Amino acid sequence: MKILCLIKYVPDVEEFTYDDQRHVLIRENVKQILNPDDACAVAYALMIKRRNPETVIEVVTMAPDTVRGDLEDLVRRNIDRATLISDKRFGGSDTFATSMILGRYLQQNTFDAVLTGTHSLDGDTSQVPSQLGELCGLPQMSHIVAIEFDSFLAGRPVVEVDLESCILTFALSLPAILSIHKDSAYKLPYVAYQDLEKDVSAQVRVVNHQDLGLGADEVGLQGSRTKVRRSFVKTRAPKNRVVVKNDDEGIETVYDYLKNHGFLL
């Protein structure tokens, strides 16, 4: 079985920088972290590999070359190969252009399943997995919190999907795109101590614009269909902080606050 894990490295939430002119995030020289939902997808793939050692796992990301070290660190967790889709022409790609790029890579490869995250910290649109399903003609399911191991290995995974108001169970036929939510129980393991300094550079390869054969008008800002009308920085009104003591006067103050704000009848 071959599993492709589509992952994304996102800017650390404490270091977000936004280009107001181009309406894109500035990713250069910003610390990148593995998107939490995507980490759960890789964790599930590794669990499958422990049950079925013949499983081949490839992680694929579209990112600047600066994440190469992060990919090597991921490979040291028993990943077979990492593919970095990287080219300056891809800069500024919206979800549509990103899906075109990733979709072309999927179409050029064979696999039994594609695992992704449901959301990403830097966009949170959840559009790419479903768009990939449409482009590649594959079943796709998001918000997955559990996948039954035996059914997955049998080629017809039974998945639990959290719809907030309820959890529903579905069965899909592989190949399919399964998007896992960070609220799942799948946690990415640490690198084994003996593998911390392991040389895995040969297991990381770079794919560029020419390899995928996409036109210049299909990628980057030119290939992006999203049009931002305006952007603004959200401001919050300052709030007064009230500190009370644990005495009759303090209790009375808290009681009045809760009552005035409708928490007490």
Answer yes or no: are the C-beta atoms of 74 and 44 closer than 8 Å.
no
Question: Exposed, middle or buried: residue 123 (CB in 10 Å: 0-12, 13-18, 19+)?
Answer: middle
Residue 31 falls inside a structural domain: yes
Residue 261 falls inside a structural domain: no
More confident residue, 259 or 169: 169
Q: For residues 181-219, b (16+ Cβ closer than 10 Å) or e, as one string?
A: bbebebebeebeeeeeeeebeebbeebebeebebeeebb
Among 75, 103, 91, which Cα is nearest to 195's? 75
Answer yes or no: are the C-beta atoms of 154 and 148 closer than 8 Å.
no
Would you say residue 247 has pLDDT above 60? yes
Answer yes or no: are the C-beta atoms of 92 and 216 closer than 8 Å.
no
Would you say residue 21 has pLDDT above 90? no
Kindly report which listed range (53-57, 117-121, 142-146) carries the lowest average pLDDT score.
117-121
**pLDDT at position 123, please?**
72
Would you say residue 4 has pLDDT above 80? yes
Residue 89 falls inside a structural domain: yes
Residue 134 falls inside a structural domain: yes
C-alpha neighbours within 13 Å on the C-beta side of residue 159: 28
Residue 228 falls inside a structural domain: no
What is the rounded CA–CA span in Å between residue 4 and residue 81? 10
Residue 238 falls inside a structural domain: no
Token duo for residue 238? 């300052």
Kindly report which listed range (65-79, 101-115, 194-208, 238-252) carries the lowest average pLDDT score.
238-252
Residue 74's CATH number: 3.40.50.620
Condensed to tens digits (0 to 9), the pLDDT of residues 195-219 reads 999 999 999 999 999 999 988 888 8
More confident residue, 21 or 259: 259
Residue 250 falls inside a structural domain: no
**pLDDT at position 257, please?**
86
Q: Domain of 207?
A: 2-218
Q: What is the pTM of this model?
A: 0.80
Among 59, 102, 83, which Cα is nearest to 219's? 102
When divided into structural domains, the chain yields a total of 1
Complete DSSP assignment for 9-42: EEE-GGG--EETTTTEE--TTS-EEE-HHHHHHH
**pLDDT at position 229, please?**
74
Residue 208 falls inside a structural domain: yes
